[in-house]
Chains A and B, each alone.
Chain A
Amino acid sequence: MTTPLTLVPGRRPDGTHHLAVSGEIDMSNIGALADALSTTAGPVVLDLTDVEYLDSAGLSVLFAHADRLELIATPLLAPVLKVSGLSDLATVHGLD
C-alpha cells in the first residue's frame, strides 16, 4: 500500500506542462511522481501547494528534473527545499 498521492497533469495557457500534486510524498509513492514527470518533456510547472509532506525520497525525484522545473510551494515545505539546495537549482515560488 502506498501513501495516497493525487497527480493532476495539465497545460498552462502558454502550453507549458503543469502538474498539480496533493497529498504526501515519501518513498512509497515517488514512483508515481517520477512517472508523471517522465511523461512530460520541456519545462514543467510543479504545483506543490497541496503537498503536506515531502522528504528526501521525493526531493531525489525533483532533483532529477530540477533544470526544467518551476515549483509552486508553501512555507511548510520551505525548510526542506532550502536545506536540500533544490531552491537554488529550480525556480521556486510561494516559499515566503
Chain B
Amino acid sequence: MTHSGKAEHGVPAARTGVSTDGTEVFAADREIGRGLAAVDWSSTPLGPPADWPQSLRTAVSILLSSRFPMWMAWGPELTFFCNAAYRRDTLGRKYPWALGRPASEVWAEIWGDIGPRIDRVLATGEATWDEALLLFLERSGYTEESYHTFSYSPLRDDDDTVVGMLCVVSEDTERVIGERRMATLRDLGSDPSVIRTEQEVLEFAGRQLARNGRDLPFTLTYLFREDGSSRLAGSTGLPGGHPLAVPVLRAEDTDALWPAAELSRGATALVDLEDGRFPDLPGGDWPQAPRQALVVPLLQQGNAPYGFLVAGLNRYRALDDGYRGFVELTAGHLASGVGSARSYETQQQRAEELAELDRAKTTFFSNISHEFRTPLTLIMGPLAELRGRLADDPWARSELDIIHRNGLRLSKLVNTLLDFSRIEAGRMQARYEPVDLAAVTAELASVFRSAMDKAGLAFHVDCRPLGRPVHLDRDMWEKVILNLLSNALKFTFDGSVSVTVREEDGRAVVTVEDTGVGVPAAEVPRLFERFHRIENARSRSNEGSGIGLALVQELVTLHGGTITARSAEGRGTSFTIHLPFGTAHLPADAVAPAQAATVPAGVSSADPYLQEALRWLPQGTADRPADAPQEQILPDGVTAGRPADVGLPARVLIADDNADMREYLGRLLAGAGYHVDAVTDGQEALEAVRRNAPDLLVSDVMMPRMDGLQLVAALRGDSRTASLPVLLLSARAGQEASIEGLQAGADDYLVKPFAAAELLARVEANVKLARLRTHHARWRNALVDSLQEAFFVCDDKGAVIEINAAFTDILGYGPQGLPYAPVHPWWPDERTDPEAHRAVSEAFDQLLGDPSGSYTIPVTHRDGHRVWVTASFAHAQDPDSGRQVTVGTFRDVTAEHYAIQRESALASLSTRLSRATSLPEALSGALEELQTLWRARCVLAAVFDGGAEPSLTATDGSDWRDLPAEQRTAITEVRQHPALTSVPQPTGAGITVEHPTGPMVVWIDLGEHRPFTEEDQLLLTLLAGHLAQGLTRAHQIDQQRETAIALQRAILGPSSLPEGFAVRYEPATQPLEVGGDWYDTISLPDGRIGIVVGDCVGRGLQAATVMGQLRSACRALLLQDASPAQTLMALDYFAATVPGALCTTVFCGVLDPESGRLTYSSAGHPPGILAHADGTTHLLEDGRSLPLAVRPGRERPEAEYVMPARGTLLLYTDGLVERRRRPLTAGIDQASEAVQDGRDTAVDDLATRIMTRLAPAGGYDDDVALLLYRHPAPLDMSFPAESAQLAPVRKALRSWLAQCQLPPHTVQNVLVAAGEACANAIEHGHRDAPGETVRLRAEAFVQDLRVTVTDSGRWKAPQPELNAHRGRGLTLMRSLMQQVTVTPGAAGTTVHLHTRIA
C-alpha cells in the first residue's frame, strides 16, 4: 500500500511488507511476535519498530528467543515486552493487553514493590536479584499470593545509556506454598512423644497449625461425642470466645454453623463466611479475613469420623486440588493422632488384663500338671475309636491324626515328668527280668528304621547275642533306647546312626552313636543335666523338654548301670551304656522271672517317640518346588473372608518348626480370611520377610537354626523390617518368658496352649494396630513421596538407603537400586569433569562430617544430563536402630543456577566490554571471558570483513592459516546461519555475530568431549547478543572519542608553548576538554610572542564552538598585524558575525621576550597581574575597552608595560577569581597574593599551585583559563660537545644574564662556573665520542639563579696531578657558586649550579 499523499509531502513512501516495516524483529516467536506486531507502536514513545535502535532490536530478539520467562521495559515510559514463557507462567489474563503498555500500568498492583527496584537499576546500571519475593498479582481475577525469583538487569541503548531493564523471572509460587504446607505437615508428624492422650495430641497439632497463618488463617477442631453432638477440641487463629468457635454443636441443631451431620457421614463442606455474620474475623497472617472455610471430617477407617476440622481459607489463593489436599492431609493427621491416642488407651487396658491371665495360667499349670494323665487317657481312648470310625473321612481323619499325635506327645511328656517325680519319690515300680539285651535293643531300634530311612540316614544295628541275659525293666529300657535314638535322629542331618550291643569286661555294653552335630566339649558334662538344653545346637526340631537324657541316666542308674557320652562338635555323639549281668545290683523284690513276650515289645510305647520323630522330617519333600521353601496354606474348604475393617487381606507369615502347629495355625488364619505363608525356622522366616514383608509374623520362640527371639532381633536390626509386627508363640509359660519376648521387640506374646479364638483376636488386634501404627509410617511415606523436593536418608557410611519419588524424578535413580553406596552413581565423572567431581566430593565430606548444612552441587542425571541441586541435610538418630543417619532434601536449582550463571556471565562480559578502550580490546577481552566461562580450550572470532581471508582473533593467538582446513570450512559454514543462532559443533559451538566491520563467527572449542548443552546454547546466544551490541558501542565510542578529542584539542590552544610560559585549562562541563574560555600564544615573525586569553559567554560545547572561531580569528589577525588594539578592533567585526560571540572578553598582548616589553589591549577582560621580583604587584589596567562586538568600529586603546626582570605575569579568565557574593577585586587580590607567594617557584608548578589555591570548595563551576609568564624565559640550549662552542654559548648566556638584570660580578661568576661545567662536559664527558650534545639550561627566579649542564657521558673523579686545571675548574665552580652538585648517572652527568641573586 502506498500513501501517495504523504509522499508528496516529502515523507518517504510507507514501507511495505514484513521485511521493511521493522516487525521482523518479532520473528523469533511466532505467537508473541504476532501479539507484538499488532501493537500500535507509533502511539508509544518507542515509535514504529522500523525506527528502533539496534540495541532495542537485539534485546527484543533475545527476549523472544528465550525459553525462560522474561519481560523487559524500554524507553521513557518503560514500555512492556514479554516472551511466551512469561506469558504462560505469570502474565495470565493480562495478555495481550499488556504488550506495549507502560510497565507501571501493566503491573500497577505491584508497582510499589517493583517500581523502586526498576528505578534503582535505571539509576545505577546495577542488576537486582530477588529470591521468592511475595507479590500480590491481579492476573487471575483475584488478588493472588504469588512468589517470584527474578533479576532486573539494565538494558542500554546504542549510546550505552541505560534506557530500560530486562527481567528474568522464575515463578516460585508453587514451590514456596508447597514448602510451607509441607513444613506444616512435617511439623504435625514431628511429635517426638508417641504415647499421649487425645488432648495432648490435639494441643500439639494446634501449635503446629497456628504456625501456618497463611494457609490456615484459623482452624477449629471438633470431636463427635456419643450422643451425636460435637465438642470443640481445639482452635487456632481465633481469639477466645469468638462467635465462630461454638463450644458444643448439638446433633439436632440443623441451623448450626458447621454441618456436623453431613461431616459425620464423611462428607466435606465449603462454608461461606462473607455474609456479614462475622465482621471481626481475623485474617491469620493476611491483612484480610478468609472468605470461606473448608470443613473436612477426621476420618477413621471403617468407622464414623472422629470429628471434623474447620479450616479458614487463605483468600489470596484459589481452593485448588493442592490446597484441598493439604487441608485433608492435615485432617488426616489429626484423625490418626486421635486414633493412636484412643487405641493406645485400649491397648494399655488389654495388656493389664493379659498379664493377669498369664499369672493365673502359670498357677494353674503348676498345680494340676500331674492331673493330665486322666484327661489325656480319656482323650486318647475315644480318639483311637474315633479314628477307626472316621477312617473314611480324610478331612476328619487328618484332624484326628493331629490330635492323636499331639495327645501322644503330651502323654509322653506328662509320663516323663511323672517318671521323674516317681524316681525322685522313690516310688518307681521297676520289674527287672532277664532278657536278651541284643534282641530287645535290636527290636526297639527297628522301630526307628523307617524314620532313619526317611531322614536319609544310614542306620546300622549291630546287636549280636551276648550269651547270657541282662536283667531289665522293659518299659524303662524302651525309654532309654528310644530317647537315645530320637536324640540321634534329631541332631543328625547326614551320615549314620548306629546301635551296637557287646559284652566287654564282664558287662553288657550298648552304644548309640551318630554322626550328627555333636556338642561342644564344655557341654558334654552337662548333657545329662535335667532341663539343660544345648543352646544354638542345630537340630531337626527345637521341640523337647530337655529332660530326655536326664531320664535316660536316671533309668540306667536304676539298672545299676552307667551311661557316658563322648561328643565332638560337627563329628557326632556317642552314648555308651554299661550294664552289669546278674541281679546282685538290683533290689531283690524287683527281680522277676523271665516272661514270654506276648506283646511285641516297644510297639505301643514307642509310638509317641516315633510319631514325634517323623514329624520332624520334611513332609512330602519330593512334591515341594525347590525355590518355594515356604508352605502356602490356603483356606481349606472355608470361604475366604476378610477380617473386619481391614482393606486388603492381611498377609501373615507363620514360622514354626512343628509341622502340626504350622498346619493348625495356617488353617485357622486362612479360615479367618488371612493370606498365610509358613516357614519352618527363624532363618527361613527372615529370608521370607526380606523378600516380601507380610503384615504380621507369627513365630514360635523355640526353633532350630534361628529361634524366635533371634528372629525378632534380626528383624528389628534391619531398617527395612524394623517395624514388622511380630506375635511370638511359646510353650514357656510365665512372666519372665513373656518379658523376654517383649524385650526382644515382639509386639505381642501368646503362650501355648491357646484358644483359637484368642489367637485370632490377637492376630487381628496386631494387624489392626500395626496398620494404625504404620499409618504413621505410611503417612510419612506418602508425605515424603509428595514432597516436591527430593528426599533421601543416608546411613553412617553415606550410602543412600531411602529416597522419594521426587528424588527419582530429579536424578533418575529409583528405589529399586537402593542402597546407593558412595561413590554414588550421580556423581560427575572424575575423569571428564574433575572440578564438579571434587565439588561433590567435598559436599559429601560435609554431609558426613557436619551435623547439618546445605550446599549446591552439580550432579549427573541417570540419562547423563547435568542437574544442579541445592541440598540441605541434618544428622538424626534412627529411632529403630539407634544409628546415626543423615536426612536430607534437595531441590533442582538447575534453572536458577543457569539463570545466575547467565546473569554473572552477562555482567562480566558487559564489564569487560565497557572497560575496553578500543574495538580489538573489546573483542579479545570478550573472547577471554567466554573462554573462562566455558573453560574452553580455545575461543576464536573470525571477522569476514571482505579481505582475502577472515581476520582472526583467538585466545591462543593462532592465525587463520594455523587452523585445520576442516575447522576453517566449519567456521565459514556457521556464517551461513542467521545471526545470533548457536550452531552446535562436535566439541563446542559457533555463532554469527555482527561485527562493525562485517559478519563475525565466534567459535567455542571446549576441547574435551564435554557436551555443549542446550543451556550453553542459550547462554551463548545471549552473550553473543551482548557482544554484538558491545562491539558496536565500542566501535562508535572509539570513533566519536577520537573525533571529539582531535577537534577539541584543535580548537583549544597551541600544543607547545614558548619557554617561560605555563598554562592551565579547566572546562566547567565534563567530560568536554574545552569550554568558552581560551588561551593562546603565537610566535610572531619578528620574534615577539602574541599572548591571548579570552572568555566567551556561556560554557559547554556551544561556547566552545564560538571560542574556537574567535581563537583562530584572533591568531590570524595577530599574525597579520602585531598590534593588540588593531587586532581586537578587527575581531569586533568578526565577532559581530558569529552568533554567541557578543560580549566575549579578550586580553590581547604582544611580548618582546628580549626586552620584556608588553604591548596590550583589553576587551573588557579582567586585568593581568604582574608580580615584581621586589614583591610589589602591578595590574595591567590600561588599554581597556568594551567587550567584543559591543561597538564594532570604535577605536580601542593600547597600553605598554615593560616587564622587569624576574617578574611574573598572570593572565586569566574570570572563572579563576569570580565568586558569588564577593567583589571581583577580592578574587584578583587573592590571585595576586598567590603569584607573589610563588615568585620563587617554576612557572609550571606555580600554575598548579594557583589553580589549587583558588579553587572553590566544590571545584570550579565555570571555565577557567590561566596563563603565566616569567621574564626572562629560561635559557635552554643544546650544543655539540666541541670546545669551539664555548664562546657562542657564553655569548648567549651573557645576553640572557643581562636580561635578568644581575650585578656584573654575579654575571661573571655565573659565566665562569657555567663555562667550567661546559668545558668539563666537552672534555670529560665526550672524550671518546666528540660531537655529542650538551644541554645548558638557566632559569632565573626572584632570588635564585639556577644553571644546569647535562651531558651524556660519565665524569671521572678529578685527578689534579694529571689535570691540574680541571681540578681547578671544579674548585672554581664551587667557590663562585652557592651550591654545586655533580650527579653522575648511567645516561650522563648533570651539574647543577645555584647562586643567590644578591
Contact = CB atoms under 8 A, between A and B. Distances in A.
A56 B1372 contact: yes
B1364 A63 contact: yes
Interface stretch (B214-222, B747-755, B1308-1316): B1308-1316
Contacts of B431: none
A27 B1364 CA distance: 13
Contacts of A59: 1365, 1368, 1372
Contact of B1305 (A28, A54, A79, A83): A79
B1200 interface: no
B412 interface: no
Interface string B1370-1384: 011001100000000
Contacts of B1319: 26-27, 55-57
B1315 A53 contact: yes
Interface residues of A, number: 22
A3 to B, nearest CB: 4
B1284 A56 contact: no
Nearest to A60: B1365
Contacts of B1372: 55-56, 59, 80, 83-84
A1 B1284 contact: yes
Contact of A79 (B1315, B1369, B1376): B1376
Interface residue range, chain B: 20 to 34
A39 interface: no
A54 B1369 CA distance: 11
B1136 interface: no
B1330 to A, nearest CB: 13
A63 B1312 CA distance: 18
Interface centre among B1284, B1287, B1375 (most CB of A within 10 A): B1287
Interface in B1305-1344: 1305, 1308-1309, 1311-1312, 1315-1316, 1319, 1322-1323
Contact of A60 (B1290, B1368, B1376): B1368
A36 B1323 CA distance: 23
A26 B1287 CA distance: 8
B1366 interface: yes
Interface in A17-36: 24, 26-28
Interface in A32-85: 53-57, 59-60, 63, 75-76, 79-80, 83-84
Nearest to A30: B1365
A56 B1365 contact: yes
Contacts of B1364: 60, 63
B1312 A53 contact: yes
Contact of B1309 (A2, A56, A79): A79
A78 B83 CA distance: 98
Contacts of A27: 1283, 1286, 1319, 1322-1323
B1304 interface: yes
Interface centre among B1290, B1311, B1323, B1368 (most CB of A within 10 A): B1368
Contacts of A76: 1304-1305, 1308
Contacts of A3: 1284, 1286-1287
B529 to A, nearest CB: 136
A63 B1372 CA distance: 15
Contact of B1316 (A2, A4, A28, A56): A56
Interface centre among A24, A26, A75, A84 (most CB of B within 10 A): A26
B1092 to A, nearest CB: 41
B1286 A80 contact: no
B1284 A2 contact: yes
B1375 A56 contact: no
Contacts of B1365: 56-57, 59-60, 63
A66 B1309 CA distance: 23
Nearest to B1307: A76
B1323 A28 contact: no
Instruction: Say what secondary structure dominates the interface of chain B.
Output: helix
A78 B1371 CA distance: 15
Contacts of B1311: 53
Nearest to A24: B1287
Given A28-B1284, A56-B1316, A84 B1304 contact: no
Contacts of A63: 1364-1365
A84 B1368 contact: yes
Contacts of A83: 1371-1372, 1375-1376
Contacts of B1308: 53, 76, 79
A79 B1308 CA distance: 9
Given A53-B1312, A79-B1376, A24 B1369 contact: no
A2 B1283 CA distance: 8
A79 B1312 CA distance: 10
Contacts of B1304: 76
A60 B1372 CA distance: 12
Contacts of B1368: 56, 59-60, 84
A36 to B, nearest CB: 18
B1278 to A, nearest CB: 18
Contacts of B1312: 53-55, 79-80
Contact of A53 (B1283, B1290, B1366): B1290
Interface in B1257-1313: 1283-1284, 1286-1287, 1290, 1304-1305, 1308-1309, 1311-1312
Nearest to A2: B1284
B1296 to A, nearest CB: 16
Nearest to A75: B1305
Nearest to B1370: A56
A1 B1288 CA distance: 11
Interface in B1008-1055: none
Contacts of A4: 1287
A55 B1309 contact: no
A3 B1316 CA distance: 15
Contacts of A53: 1290, 1308, 1311-1312, 1315
Contacts of B1366: 56
B1283 A28 contact: yes
Nearest to A63: B1364
A4 B1284 CA distance: 10
Contacts of B1290: 24, 26, 53
A53 B1286 CA distance: 11
A83 B1369 CA distance: 11
Contacts of B1376: 79-80, 83
Nearest to A77: B1308
A56 B1369 contact: yes
Contacts of B1323: 27
Nearest to B1366: A56
Contacts of A80: 1312, 1372, 1376
Contacts of A56: 1316, 1319, 1365-1366, 1368-1369, 1371-1372
A1 B1304 CA distance: 28
Contacts of A57: 1319, 1365, 1369
Contacts of A1: 1284
Interface of A: 1-4, 24, 26-28, 53-57, 59-60, 63, 75-76, 79-80, 83-84
Interface of B: 1283-1284, 1286-1287, 1290, 1304-1305, 1308-1309, 1311-1312, 1315-1316, 1319, 1322-1323, 1364-1366, 1368-1369, 1371-1372, 1375-1376
In the A-B complex, list the 4 residue pairs whose CB atoms are closest, starting with the nearest. Answer: A60-B1365, A3-B1287, A56-B1369, A28-B1283
Given A55-B1315, A55-B1372, A57-B1369, 20 more contacts: A26-B1290, A26-B1319, A27-B1319, A28-B1283, A28-B1284, A28-B1286, A54-B1312, A55-B1312, A55-B1369, A56-B1316, A56-B1365, A56-B1369, A56-B1372, A59-B1372, A60-B1368, A79-B1375, A80-B1312, A83-B1372, A84-B1371, A84-B1372
23 contacts: A2-B1284, A3-B1284, A4-B1287, A24-B1287, A26-B1286, A26-B1290, A27-B1322, A27-B1323, A53-B1311, A54-B1312, A55-B1315, A56-B1316, A56-B1319, A56-B1365, A56-B1366, A57-B1365, A59-B1365, A60-B1368, A63-B1365, A76-B1304, A79-B1312, A83-B1372, A83-B1375
